[in-house]
Amino acid sequence: MSRDLFGPSKAFIGVVHLLPLPGSPRWGGNMRAVINRAEEEANILEQGGVNGIIVENFGDVPFRTGRLDPETISGMTVAVERVEEVVNVPVGINMLRNDALSALGIAAVTGAKFIRVNVHYGVMAAEEGLIEGEAFQTMRHRQALNADVKVLADVLVKHAVPLGSVDLGLVARETAQRGLADGLIVSGAATGEETASFDVSVVRRAMPDGLVLVGSGVTEKNIWRVIEHSDGAIIGTSLKEGGIVTNQVDPERVRRMSEIFRSLP
């Protein structure tokens, strides 16, 4: 069952934001530096008490829609494989901006347990252009690969606005029931921005027995309120030094957040 992916308690999922990968505008020409940073931060997160880790090509701005370049996919594969080698918690993949097929392929090769898909079902308008969900291709590709990889889908993803229905509950039900997503993610308007507790409760009512995660803006101060109706949260920005998303992961912030999660009912 997808809800058991991270264990019985509220899931604390940390994020490894990769340095720019080959082919991106800020690529530094040193894949070893990318891998070392990923390994270091993955170790900090696991030792700090996370229940899972998601790896993102966060340094590859500006992002593109559709299929990513071969060098990006290759770089992500190497990085995810290394993270898988050094930690013992479930590892996931987010191929920004929305390359679910590549993420599935990497997961099948590396043993990653889940992928995050920003637009799995429906259409969203983002800074990068229109992003169309590919639930049809994604779920059939997973079947063809015979891969035990969970698909966690954003509902009205951050950094984008819907072109269709803005009924959050309806979109959540459609994504789960017609898109066959294994779990749903609810976020704020942008990276690091607080997710509305009311939005989480709406998605929970639409998916009462499935996995529901908060996808942005969880801090030590708001966690009790924000994740009340969820099964846990994906946390990146507030675990960084100074709470700045481009900084490195702060071991002390991870430790404090882990203590809070352990105290949750």
Q: Summarize the confidence of residues 115-142 as an average pLDDT.
A: 95
- What single-letter DSSP state applies at residue 65? S
d(CA 132, CA 198): 26
Cβ–Cβ < 8 Å for 203, 211:
no
Rama region for 138: left / alpha / beta (φ>0; ψ in -120 to 50; rest): alpha
Q: Summarize the confidence of residues 195-219 as an average pLDDT.
A: 96
Residue 2: band (very low, low, confident or very high) from pLDDT cuts 50, 70, 90: low
What is the tens place of the pLDDT at every residue in 64-108? 888 999 999 999 999 999 999 999 999 999 999 999 999 999 999
pLDDT score of 165: 65
- What single-letter DSSP state applies at residue 60? S
pLDDT at 9 over 80: yes
- Look over the chain and give the mean of its residue pLDDT values, rounded to a whole number: 95
Beta bridge partners of 151: 115
Across 81-114, b (16+ Cβ under 10 Å) vs e yields bbbbeebebbbbbbbbbbbbbbbbbbbbebbbbb
* Percent above pLDDT 90 for the chain: 92
Q: pTM of this prediction?
A: 0.96
d(CA 171, CA 263): 32
What is the tens place of the pLDDT at every residue in 226-250? 999 999 999 999 999 999 999 999 9
d(CA 56, CA 246): 13
pLDDT at 1 over 80: no
Superfamily of domain 9-263: Aldolase class I (3.20.20.70)
Tokens 């340095």 belong to residue? 19
Q: Where are the domains of the chain?
A: 9-263
CA distances from 11 to 43, 64, 78, 198, 231 (A): 17, 30, 26, 19, 6
